[in-house]
A and B are shown apart, each in its own frame.
Chain A
């Protein structure tokens, strides 16, 4: 046995996982002994910290494969698991409980235009202006194309409810005040996607003239995912930077109340391939509220470091977390970035900031007052869009070419996955779950809309 190695027990010879009998540190040696004989059967390195009694993979486990313990399956791997990794709720689930929504295999593929057309028709049916409906339809469709389903069709019903309750003005047109490269946009409580699309376009136009432009948007609403607007700008041979505030959910460590949203930051730029973009899009909380709700529903516990309770104490209880606050990613640095983003958004734009942004749950008919900030940098004015894209391609090529341990996951640049998915889905269609499809069919019915019936050839049912 290696000196200072942590012991782990393998309960049956053909098991995939062993239980560590002491906390295993990253890079620490683990001696796996067979429980029946006490013989050492593996010597390996822990790839992650593994608490006492928890499971470690004794060899690689492919995604979707059963995980054996006591010689029998105890669940399936939900991701590929490497030898030495911690095996628990984050990468394995029971085969008895139904898989969570996002894991369920999509059953039906729909062309992107179908999604787009449906959203547009649904919005127009509730009185949204033609350009407002088109803007939201485009943003929602892009969410599905890029695998950001959290901002896709599942949001349509709440958006419509808010429009109907008068919380959002369905016909409002944003008002833009142009002062050279600085634009201030009053969203006038219009559809968030529409306000943000108009602002992104205006910022882009101004940047073409001045080399750079900033749009400060106030009185808007939830606009979907920030990366979409950053890439709208990037598609104009520019570099787009987008941030927004939103519903309050994040507190600084130890605070008994949240004050800020998990303001996203998106940075996008064109690459030489016209069908690929550099697209960083990140929220500033460790996890989303939606994820906590999901964990609460499953009865499981949260990973440490995600949330705190109403007393400002760290908690792993999802119910206590929902009554408390989310935490910013990266401790003090992440929280500092979040505060700075708010200083650049709600505070700078003259609109609502921090907890002045209204929650759609608390007051469904009150305007949210969401603020966005968008920055466009014209690449032709800088060093030439082609040259910039070449240099950016060089950067990501060098990233991908880094020597890595055989066990490392592929090194990806921001946006690589999203745009690979988008290319695939433009070709094959957008996967929708049965539940999603049933819900929009019901919605169409409620709105007295005829469901668009694209020709049979593109109504393909996936093999699974």
Chain B
């Protein structure tokens, strides 16, 4: 069997990165131009629509997070060309400016400047078709694992996640890191109680301090809102399933990060500054989380689920992995990697990692994930502050 690292290909981009998809996208810089973005995508088949949830009346760090995430998505290596639309020209220009700093040219279009829907649909359509023609001329070239950023996520977790699928993904993560690749996990809130592991695996004392303070910040945030994460975790369901403490729950989630050193913490939607394993400061809700990982430049996301979570991201193909036989049976169409044999005892953790690697290899080379086939794709950037 050829190793999974052999024969991988990707689409070269202006900034030297490589994508595993060759998408053309239309992005709304704020919610008031979502109708325009949707109409443009509907009239131009194969164009991916990235609507905005907000984008107006935001301020401070919240605004910064939104802009960074929008720019990260617009400049994503899986996107060959991106058109950012906005009402007044400044909004799309702000995103375009940040995307250019990431080394990707994007085009912009202002509703106000052009004078209305009809004009926007006409010019926007022309721009998108031009981008599609240009993208069609880009050919796949060999891609090394060191050019890959893999996002790691788990959602709808159950006993099989912590026992089988996460440890198998952990072994695969080690392989990615050992081959010079980048892996990014997230959900600091789910690391509460795993501080001992984070400290031990941190690449430096600074990284250790940053990892632990990032995790604790979520605990403080929850407390401010009257929620005691330590007191409400594990949940009654978790306890009935055999989980006793929050430490145990967190270590089960962290199992997907493997065993290598953790280099540090990146912000929401920020690209990892170098190879290796990183933690991203993003909340745990699946759509917001995969959006953050995608915005950080992950070409794909490995997503472990126990009871079945269908979420996929329109820009970063989301590989669904489960070791729950019931989920593998009932939600077959939503899964890419079935690890139920690990529970049955006929597949060990390394074989589980090999199954993940094989699927990742195929997805890198263009095979569509279950979520892509089903069109179960969603994007949504987190808010960390109120609108005014």
Contacts and interface: CB of A to CB of B under 8 A. Distances in A.
Interface of A: 7, 9, 11, 19, 21, 33, 35-38, 51-55, 69-70, 72-75, 87-89, 92-97, 298-301, 316-317
A374 B204 CA distance: 70
A70 B251 contact: yes
B240 A21 contact: no
A19 B167 contact: no
Given A21-B343, A70-B255, A96-B193, A89 B239 contact: yes
Interface string B336-369: 0000000101001110000000000000000000
Contact of A75 (B159, B241, B245, B349): B245
Interface of B: 159, 163-164, 167, 192-194, 196-197, 200, 230-232, 236, 239-242, 244-248, 251-252, 254-255, 343, 345, 348-350
A99 to B, nearest CB: 12
25 contacts: A19-B163, A35-B348, A36-B167, A36-B349, A37-B348, A38-B348, A38-B349, A52-B242, A70-B248, A70-B254, A72-B197, A72-B247, A73-B196, A74-B251, A75-B244, A87-B244, A88-B242, A92-B245, A94-B193, A95-B247, A96-B247, A299-B232, A300-B239, A316-B236, A317-B236
A33 B245 CA distance: 23
Contacts of A53: 159, 163, 241-242
A7 B344 CA distance: 10
A93 B245 contact: yes
Nearest to B229: A96
Contact of A19 (B159, B197, B251, B254): B159
Given A53-B241, A74-B245, 16 more contacts: A21-B343, A53-B163, A53-B242, A54-B241, A70-B255, A74-B248, A74-B251, A88-B239, A88-B244, A89-B239, A89-B244, A93-B244, A97-B231, A299-B231, A301-B240, A317-B236
A300 B242 contact: no
Contacts of A93: 244-245
A9 B255 CA distance: 14
Nearest to B352: A35
Contacts of B167: 11, 35-36
A298 B231 contact: yes
- Main secondary structure on B side of the interface with A: helix
Nearest to B343: A21
Contacts of B231: 97, 298-299
A95 B193 CA distance: 9
A162 to B, nearest CB: 31
Given A94-B193, A97-B231, A301 B247 contact: no
B248 A69 contact: yes
Given A298-B231, A299-B232, A72 B194 contact: yes
Contacts of A69: 248, 251
Most buried by A among B164, B193, B232, B245: B245
A69 B345 CA distance: 20
B153 to A, nearest CB: 19
Contacts of A36: 167, 348-350
Among the interface residues B196, B242, B246, which one has the most CB atoms of the partner chain A within 10 A?
A: B242
SS class of chain A's interface: helix, strand, loop or mixed? loop
A301 B236 contact: yes
B353 to A, nearest CB: 10
A74 B167 CA distance: 17
A440 B244 CA distance: 34
B255 A11 contact: yes
A16 to B, nearest CB: 12
A181 to B, nearest CB: 54
Nearest to B197: A72
Contacts of A9: 163-164
Contacts of B343: 21
Closest A-B pairs by Cβ, 4 of them: A54-B242, A94-B245, A53-B159, A74-B248
A21 B242 contact: no
Given A9-B163, A35-B167, A92 B252 contact: no
A73 B248 CA distance: 8
A36 B231 CA distance: 32
A54 B197 CA distance: 22
A95 B251 CA distance: 14
B21 to A, nearest CB: 34
A309 B20 CA distance: 55
Contact of A11 (B163, B197, B242, B245): B163
B240 A96 contact: no
Nearest to A90: B244
Contacts of B193: 74, 94, 96
Contact of B244 (A33, A74, A96): A74
Nearest to B251: A70
Contacts of A51: 242
Contact of A55 (B197, B244, B255): B244
Contacts of A72: 194, 196-197, 200, 247, 251
Contact of A92 (B241, B244, B350): B244
A72 B247 CA distance: 9
Contacts of B245: 74-75, 92-96
Contacts of A94: 193, 230, 244-247
A38 B351 CA distance: 11
A35 B165 CA distance: 11
A37 to B, nearest CB: 7
A73 B200 CA distance: 12
Contacts of B200: 72
Given A37-B348, A55-B244, A87-B244, A301 B159 contact: no
Contacts of A97: 230-231, 246
Contacts of B348: 35-38
Contacts of B236: 299-301, 316-317
Nearest to B254: A70
A33 B346 CA distance: 12
A14 B19 CA distance: 41
B328 to A, nearest CB: 16
A301 B252 CA distance: 21
A355 to B, nearest CB: 31
Given A9-B163, A35-B163, A75-B248, A55 B240 contact: no
Nearest to A76: B245
A55 B242 contact: yes
